[in-house]
Amino acid sequence: MPIFAIPYPMIDPVLVDIGPFPIRWYALAYVAGLVAGWATARYLVGRDKFWAAGQPRPSVLSIDDLVVYIAVGIILGGRTGYVLFYNLPFFLAHPVEIPKLWTGGMAFHGGLVGAVLGLWIFARRNKIPMLTVADVVAAGVPFGLLFGRLANFIKPELWGRETDVPWAMVFPGAGPLPRHPSQLYEAALEGVVLLLILAVVIRRGGLRRHGLVAGLFAAGYGVARITAEFFREPDPQLGFLFGGATMGMLLSVPLILLGLVIVADALRRPAFGTGEVPPAIGKGMP
């Protein structure tokens, strides 16, 4: 083990107390992610250069409603996913703890399912192809992942495995040995790298192919998450499942496969503006 380790920067998880109500970094991360996603979506749908003439897309004003659908889906789905996949015995014994979101415990994969349900409802009500809405939403999700992982680091939680790398840290509550700052790895991979990849694809006309951006996000997130899981300490209540696999790895595999299928289908179809006939508005979601 290393003689020296980088000191963990002790940051109060509560930014400020307003009377009896503490404002936590964890909550601010969700707010910042939603605001960044909202701004990204409004920017994309408001710029004709990203779309082909006649291609159906959400209006700028409708994005305000979309954020509400997505926010509710993320919160309900994220908490439900954590309860079911990561700590079900505890919550069965202590059901009163389930709504206590401020104590931590949100699963990305569950939040994703909730978000997809929310955008599906939005697409149906606004008579816009679901994959088009998914593309717009996916473009801004890396912001939320970036802020969320930074909040994990500040709390701190979801730290890495024991290591002797020069940038290892000793996390409060994780024992005396230095560990990978895996929250920062995830912030870089799931946030910065994925954001840059999607930005390049969008600038090269990615939004003119239904599902391309959303599929790339799904596959890219799955690869990034599995990579980070090799450095992240498994959840103590689950540990390693089999062959060194973790729950995060297992839940990411179908996400990668689904993403690749969506990407392949998007590339198989002609892009808007190159002879493709737009789907009939209101006659089913692709």
Average pLDDT in the 168-179 region? 93
DSSP code string of 194-263: HHHHHHHHHHTTGGGSTTHHHHHHHHHHHHHHHHHHTTBPPPTTT---STT--HHHHHHHHHHHHHHHHH
The answer on whether 24 is annotated among ligand-binding residues is no
pLDDT at 102: 67
**pTM of the predicted model as reported, rounded to 2 decimal places:** 0.84
**What are the tens digits of pLDDT across the range 209-224?**
999 999 999 999 999 9
**What are the tens digits of pLDDT across the range 142-164?**
999 999 999 999 989 899 999 99
**What are the tens digits of pLDDT across the range 181-193?**
999 999 999 999 9
DSSP character for 53? T
Quick one: what percent of the chain has pLDDT higher than 70? 93
Distance CA 153, CA 188 (A): 12
pLDDT at 186: 97
